[in-house]
Structure 1
């Protein structure tokens, strides 16, 4: 793609860096490339851009969000068609298609790092909203268990991000502002993702400068590059990853190819995107992953153990069985493994007799309580 002309929206930007606590700066410097996220910026824009911004400073009112590049006169029906047509590109699906894995790592940004981001953006950190921060693996089709409620006013993407960082979406406008500024500074990189001309890009930015207008996949890529994180969205019943396509180092753009990228290396931001509405994921789910191939995995474990490739972790040592037609009637017996005699014993009230594992297994439908012992303890001669 040929280099594009200077974007009128970009202009020249001068930064006034915020004086943060030393510890916060160290965290940011170590984990993020967000030195550009100062709270105050002096922007030098062209007259046309100034006029566009002045037009947007008037009172705003709720309205149907309009996707970028949509003519103002376009009907809601046409908006919906365009949304479906432009919702996802092949670039968006690059990671899942070009990587051999069909598993999704759940590796959310830590509370410490989210505090650092809030400090740089100027958000008040309310509380740690991510309830399940433990690393886990999910299926590509595992839908999140719980998300936060976000107002559907067209700002849902920016509200969702603000909530993810700070535990509140009140200051979403600061998140929108930082993303807009980052895109304006590096507009060539983002325009190239969609093969957009400068005219189309300026139209995108004009819409982005308007409150109550949708964020797009470009903004997801911008957040990924801005924070050096993976942005995962659950869309159309599967997870899609927006990875950083470049990083800024000492003012230089260093592109990150798919060959240099590894799924799971970066921390992640996790969002649910349903019915054209973004919400932050508070609790993930890997229920489908656990259900997929359970029988096969159990079979493999048993066969590997039998063939000596892997020892079982636990050994069955006792079974309490209920013999009877109802829970209110019948009789309980107990089978116990006798380590001294290396055999099973049947305990039936005062009667104790030898039995076999085959007979015990035959009572599997009446098994009530099963007791297991760690294999190392089971094999310990002194135990």
Structure 2
């Protein structure tokens, strides 16, 4: 309630409601204090209590902000008790989710101010509040409309639907620290959606979202909990000012040569902002077979600059003389064999189209200075490695559970081969890996490399690293390339070459292994331009650039008529490992003095902006922004 009382657009409506209807709204609670009954719905009583509470909090001085008098204490308990009669989960004295409670308060306002008016209209009589007060519904201040674009990659049809929200849900990535601006940009990027097309019955669609109407008070829920017991403790830098006009337009998209949507992330846009990164899938090994130069070297240049040639690379299994190339797996029969090993029953035609798309990316030598060019966006849910492998082979992430299961089954039967790649007890590690959202380590990378008999290249801050099969020679049909940034895996489908000219492999110009792709190969050999090359992203025109500005969300810029600026006015934080326990507290900004305060049960003290930014980063749960 302290946070709501810091939002001018909500407070002004509640204040007017109390002034306009003092005899219609508040007496019911006064009667309840005296033990008398009231013929009003529980939702009415919750609304009355909230309006009264906001009025009290607004008029409290800093020295007497805590609701200590008996009447106010009873009011707080009464609101909670009335809420418990509407939603049984609140009918106790235990801790509950603040987000859930706030949404229930909003529903009560809607029921009282909208639902009753409609019922009274049907009964042809005036309601308790009446039509004239509909515009005072506090939900109007927080409500906003979004539009979603759904593009079918098969029939090329695009459908749109709109929805109304009271709160913006912001998913958190698994990383040590990030910013709210980066989280919002990621949230509004395109993503794959399992949806049956009404025209062609294609099982997937590509979805993009935008905000059509912006609210006066923008409330955000940082989704730290995937369930009530699993918390994400990432630090989120929350800006005092937020510019949101970029989210009024759909994110830019690219299409492959078939006109299919491809959500592409460039490395420059997703540059790592933290040097403290756990190096998954990489281990420095001093033993093994020495190469001709006598000293191994990372392809990314982490080794001695004077030792070895550019073709020397550190491999997890052993150190050998080897030529490293960038060549994606596009041989259909081999891919079908791989997916068969993982018990994946994917549509062969979909796989064929996916591999044809990958064929547009030219094979070339992999130099130590090369970086990932184009990567494919992968959902950040703890299954990113298995999702990335699924996409590389089938063109969709939805088979990640099959990939995980096949990996675990292989690990159970290959302890002697993989045990050295595991940190800790191998048996326990394998059992834990059976659970969804358990992060992959170098042990799982080694297992997939051996299971599929392919090399797996991973790009980390130190450069490219290669995991090669330990018990067999890898096939020559191509390799899997992954970009690991902030402990998150994404498939790499093109290279960002060093300033030198790219060296295409002669083998790429030969007849492909799959006879079905002869015509596509002829286009490559004759140098014809093929539409939709993954290595060539669509360049946005000037109008698109204006709709999708490159500047940071909170960068100070000259305001214009299209600028949508918000100021932070309150933050609700949570300490604890479960939504149903722990402790909630808030940082609030006084509406009149513009000063910040810390509020927690019976504690109320001043706070600086610096304190707010630093202290809410690991604990922020609900953010309240008021529009300028």
* TM-score (norm: length of structure 2): 0.29
* TM-score (norm: length of structure 1): 0.46
